[in-house]
Structure 1
Amino acid sequence: MEMTTEAYKQQFSEEDAVGWLAIDQQLEKIYGAARARHYGPLCGLHYIAGGTDPIDGASIYDSSEQSFHHHIVSYGMSELYYNEEKAGGAFSKWGFEFTLRLAPFEGDKGQDPIWAIQVMNNLARYVFSSGNWFEENHFIPANGPVRLDTETAITGFVFATDPRLGKINTPHGEVTFLQLVGITDTEVEFLKKSPTIGAVSELIDQLRQENPLLITDLGRK
């Protein structure tokens, strides 16, 4: 939604988490009144307060669509809080939030995959420090297992628009829910040899044929 500063000031107050609310409203369309398990900065402090975590936190939903998986959504790559100077922008801050759909993994022993939130923080640090952002059909090698100290062939990620959350227009601008999709070391090596948007897009289309929601499974070979 395009919004003037005056309209923004009339609709919201300084106590409103304007962008956070927009994210929650989109999630409510998918999950209704289901309560997520929300985790704040893992180190206890956000970047602004001198901590090491760039994102403000992440929510984890359990989904049975396609097959049971955890659906993790970040908060903090977009403009979350009241900021009348950002009203009506083209993009809200970096213009995206991370998501990840993750099949249960025995190494997590029935606990929430907090390591995946740390992956999001690591990627966020790169964005905040370099000024380079991620978009659909980008890919990034992890230079090892995406879950540290784990025997898994998943050693990188490609980025796709989350098939259910998509994109939203917020009072601060557009936000894409950018889903991390785990890829194997064979797929990583293929993309290193052909690091083009077209090659990534083709790989994602291939993965979607048997996995429409692009759920990451650490057991995939």
Structure 2
Amino acid sequence: MTDEASTAGWDAIDTAFSELYGEQEPKHYGTAIPYALGGPDPLDGISAYKVEHPTPHWHFVTYGFSELYDKETNDPAHSGYGFELTFRLTRTEDETEPPAWALNLLQNMGRYVFNSGNVFRAGDYLDANGPICLGSDTLLTALSFMEDPDLEQLSTPNGTVDFIQMVGITGREMEMMQTWNTRGFLRACEAFMPKYVTDLMRNSYVDIPSVAQAVQRGIELEGSSTAFLFIQQLAWTPSRKRMLQKNVPAELQFGAKQAVLIGKILRSRIAKGAPLSLIGSGVNVTFEAGETPSFHEEENQVTVTVNAEAVNELAANLKPSEMTFEIPSLRGMLFRIVRTEITDQEGQVVETIG
């Protein structure tokens, strides 16, 4: 005879929400076939609570990023990945069931984490490369992550669990987060988005004067918190010497979609003496502050030293269009911006930039 499996992790999540919502019985959506046995959904379950304040919305919570049953990992401090996701989504008065797309989105977050090993922490962001609700005309095409304002860290027999709230954002809002930081931007928007409730129908907040001013002040005081950018179209071609001919300069290439953003973040980082690393497939390029512009290449790592003049010259040329250019203060180096094709989940090109 064997003992029944512990449900201490699951029970701890239930307790946290019962303290928040009393006797309310949530809508719960379990997984019929476990992911480990070939089931399509990685999370064991998702619950949704009906909330009235500050605006009617669903409050979702996942079960499965943390260890819900017996302890399995070797990390005693954290339960599983150390977090569960929450998500707040506006709800109409006549809505009795949460929308299926939101449940699918949370399961997709599970697939991303389980397949990549990358975890979500407060302050993170993720480009969805399209509407977070597939088929809708929402402007929300990215996700950001913040501490859930109503839920503190859990201590369970399997370790600690943080409740990380997923928040739908626009592409321009994500750029502002990258240029400054996620927490600062979301707090600047809190008056317009209390509890960080996601509303598919809202407009972008970036043009609201109080938000724009907060971002500008934050950038000036703190710079950008983005130390790394993952660039799909990043490429580096080393300089080459030719007999009896002019040497061929080294070439740094990236896509048109991220060209302007790189310039903005670079200005913000270098102004505070902080480096910026571009991470690509097979090559990393790090920009660092220095008095004399230069570059150094060593295997798959390139270090580019820039001063304020070089940054201004570079940023002025970083535009979302195909082009090749050099900057006077950084000799022997060529910059190439190539076209970016954005595809949907079926691989069809839905937008071309450049």
In which range does the TM-score fall when normalised by the shorter chain?
A: 0.7 to 0.9
Report the AA paired with residue 149 of structure 1: G
Equivalent residue number for residue 6 of structure 1: none
- Residue by residue, what CA displacement relative to the aligned partner does 1:57-103 show, whole Å, maximum 9, x if unpaired? 100100012111000000000000123x5598211000000100000
Q: Output the CA distance in 1 between the equivalents of 2:92 and 2:100.
A: 12
- The answer to whether the Cα contact below 8 Å between 2:176 and 2:185 also exists between their aligned partners in 1 is no
Residue in structure 2 matching 1:200, options 176, 182, 199: 182
The alignment of Structure 1 onto Structure 2 pairs a total of residues equal to 201
> 1:129-156 CA deviation, whole Å, 9 max, x = no partner?
1111110000001111000000101111
Task: Work out whether residues 143 and 167 of structure 2, in 8 Å CA contact, stay in contact via their aligned partners in 1.
Answer: yes
Q: Identify which range, 181-190 or 59-68, moves more after superposition.
A: 181-190
- Tell me the SS of whatever aligns to 2:60: strand
Q: Secondary structure at the match of 1:144?
A: coil
Indicate the residue corresponding to 2:78 in structure 1.
Answer: 91
Q: Could you tell me which residue of structure 2 aligns to residue 8 of structure 1? A: none
1:181 matched residue in structure 2: 167
2:47 to 46, 53, 59: 59
Q: Is the 8 A contact 1:87 1:171 kept in 2?
A: no
Q: Is the 8 A contact 2:79 2:158 kept in 1?
A: yes
Change beyond 3 A, Cα 1:86–1:127: closer
Structure 1 CA distance for aligned equivalents of residues 7 and 136 of structure 2: 37
The partner residue of 1:26 within 2, 6, 16 is: 16
What residue is the counterpart of 2:197 in the other structure? Answer: 215
Q: Which runs of 4+ in 1 moved over 6 A?
A: none
Q: C-alpha root-mean-square deviation of aligned residues, in Å?
A: 2.1
Identity of aligned residues (%): 40
Tell me if 1:70 matches 2:61.
Answer: no
For the residues of structure 2 that align with 1:117 and 1:26, how far apart are their CA atoms? 20
Give 1 or 2: higher helix fraction: 1
**C-alpha distance in structure 1 between counterparts of 2:26 and 2:92, whole Å:** 19
In the alignment, the residues of structure 2 paired with residue 120 and residue 126 of structure 1 have an alpha-carbon distance, to the nearest angstrom, of: 10
Q: Residue in 2 aligned with 1:104?
A: 91
In structure 2, the partner of 1:4 is: none
Give TM-score, length-normalised by structure 1: 0.84
Q: Is the radius of gyration larger for structure 1 or structure 2?
A: 2
1:121-200 equivalences in 2 (<5 Å): 121-191=107-177, 194=179, 199-200=181-182
Q: In 2, distance between residues paired with 1:68 and 1:104?
A: 5
Q: Secondary structure at the match of 2:109?
A: helix
**Separation in 2, partners of 1:101, 1:88:** 30
Q: CA deviation at 1:52?
A: 1.9
Does structure 1 conserve the Cα–Cα contact (< 8 Å) formed by 2:48 and 2:60? yes
- The one-letter code of the counterpart of 1:134 is F
CA contact (8 A) 1:99 1:178 kept: yes
**Amino acid in structure 2 at the alignment position of 1:35:** E
Specify every segment of 5 or more residues in structure 2 that has no aligned partner in the other structure, as ranges: 204-354
* Aligned position for 1:10: none
Task: Determine the C-alpha separation between the residues in 2 that align with 1:208 and 1:91.
Answer: 30
Higher RCO (C-alpha 8 Å, min separation 6):
1
Task: Report if aligned partners of 1:141, 1:157 keep a CA contact under 8 Å in 2.
Answer: yes
User: Alignment partner for residue 39 of structure 1, among 6, 29, 49?
Assistant: 29
Q: Is 1:82 paired with 2:82?
A: no
C-alpha distance in 1 between matches for 2:29 and 2:15: 18
Counterpart residue type for residue 29 of structure 1: E
Per the TM alignment, residue 113 of structure 1 is displaced from its structure 2 partner at its CA by 1.5
